[in-house]
Structure 1
Amino acid sequence: MMGSGRAFDPMARRLGGKVDLTAFDLPSHGRSEAWRPAGGEDYHTTVTRIAEGLLGTGPVDLIGHSLGGTVALRLAVAAPQRVRSVTLIEPVLFAASRSGHALDNELAALAAAGEMEAAARLFLSVWGAPGGFKALPCSLQQAAVELMPLVLETDAALSADVHGILRPGGLEAVAAPTLLIAGAESPAVMDEILDTLAARLPNAQRATVPRAGHMVPVTHPTEVTALVAGHLGRR
């Protein structure tokens, strides 16, 4: 969210062709077309459907960051037999935490008041790269403001788990080796999320990248790629 598939370029280069990687721009991001709700499908379902269409026929290694981590987990729960390994980097499935997404009400209030730039500043101060909104070039600041409605649209999927990722027996059926990666300086809610996932996924391991926050695959690609490479060798 608020990025592009190019965020995985550093990982692709460091893996040196050990695996074939397919990364895509989310709808309304990068070179993808703008997202338009169709047939009652929410944004999370649209992204999941696109990702599912790229899986192919054989077992796959799913790697997802942030929103993408929740999509990867949704795919794994829906079809565990198609998954060879799972890597979840800071998956923002707030429904798995005790405290939930502390920004939900504040962001909703700002949006209701038409203060989308203030909402983007607040969102990126917690879930963005170091420096937050003010560190972005002007063009990306404007893009972040324009994308805030999509951030708000995912609330039901991430905070209320309307798609049942956490349904009884769902995570327990994912037997594939699963790596849960967090940044040591990420918001405390991330530890709560990963605690829940680690307790229920039968073959899960955790890793923490020191001095990193939520955008760890972008800010610390060397450390993250080393963890991913080791995990892929374990599968």
Structure 2
Amino acid sequence: MNTNDKDKAGWTRALPLVGILVAAIVGFFTLRDVLTFEALSANREMLIAYRDSHYLAAVLVFMSVYIVIVGFSLPGATVATLTGGFLFGTFPGVLFNVSAATLGAVLIFLAARWGLGERLAARMDSSGGKVKAIKQGIDENQWSMLFLIRLVPLVPFFVANLVPALVGVSLWRFAVTTFIGIIPGGLVFTSVGAGLGEVFARGETPNLSVIFEPHILLPILGLCALAALPIILKAVRGKEAL
């Protein structure tokens, strides 16, 4: 294969990721005023009626929309999570939310790995110096690092989907850590969604800052510390061995 053919193949492999980025940009300008809490409030009776008449179809449609929102990084993921709780309760709503978010994340991961990740990871492995050292450090602590970026509320979801693909993380590890790692936050927002009936009745908006309240944030930070513990122990043992 000559250089031109390699370049064309590279561009072809990058098309899914480029498509996601384009969809995210277009969605930001066209859907940010559509997939909102106000839209959910205005259509709540219709959604409840459809759920009551076609429960299985409602679950499938809801999860499909959620997967598309996450998979193409469209605005409205938080509203989708609230909707899952509102329509299906804390449970099984949290199961539907976490499963759909994981599948959407997998779409981004696969697009990034197919387009850039495999080649970038190979180059990092074949390079020397600090680049290779960073790659090895990530490889040695993959489980801990993956759980950590999912649990820390400040890490953007898109970034947490993209970075693992660029450093050669396996699909299995990515999917497992994503599913388990987003459960705490997903559970909080799903439970908020489950109480939206009363919020709608009072004409108020949901309190999404609840995740930063001590009785919720401290356990999540505890899980973060637990995920980071193997990394810290390895670093300490490494220093002792020097």
Determine if the TM-score, normalized by the shorter chain, exceeds 0.5: no
Could you say which structure has the larger radius of gyration? Answer: 2
TM-score, with structure 1 as normaliser: 0.26
TM-score, with structure 2 as normaliser: 0.26
